[in-house]
């Protein structure tokens, strides 16, 4: 009788162990999927940061060019004003 209980308990533990191994495998698969997704998002983020930096540089260049044109316009207006007088 005692042997039977031991074998029954052992069988229950083996079943539970198998269930836990299956769950562990599922979690490892999910973890791998999430790591892949995270890597994809990090790559995308890096590309967006690079693009943002490029656009900020371009914006700065345009602001500089605008300032130069405003200065040139002001100079021409001053020159025109002098010619009119």
Our measurement of the distance from residue 14's CA atom to the centroid of its chain's CA atoms, rounded to an integer in Å, reads 43
- CA 52 to chain CA centroid, Å, is 13
Q: Per DSSP, which regions of 12-59 are E strands?
A: none
Mean pLDDT of 27-51: 99
Render the burial of 39-69: b for 16+ CB within 10 Å, e for the rest: eeeeeeeeeeeeeeeeeeeeeeeeeeeeeee
Residue 4: is its pLDDT beyond 80? no
Q: What is the pLDDT of residues 10-31, one digit of tens each?
A: 999 999 999 999 999 999 999 9
């Amino acid at each position: 009788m005692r042997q039977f209980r031991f074998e029954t308990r052992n069988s229950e533990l083996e079943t539970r162990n198998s269930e836990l191994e299956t769950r562990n495998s599922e979690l490892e698969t999910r973890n791998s999927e999430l790591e892949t997704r995270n890597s994809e998002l990090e790559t995308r983020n890096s590309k967006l940061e690079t693009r943002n930096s490029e656009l900020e540089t371009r914006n700065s260049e345009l602001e500089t060019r605008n300032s130069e044109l405003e200065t040139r316009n002001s100079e021409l207006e001053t020159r025109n004003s002098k010619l009119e007088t």
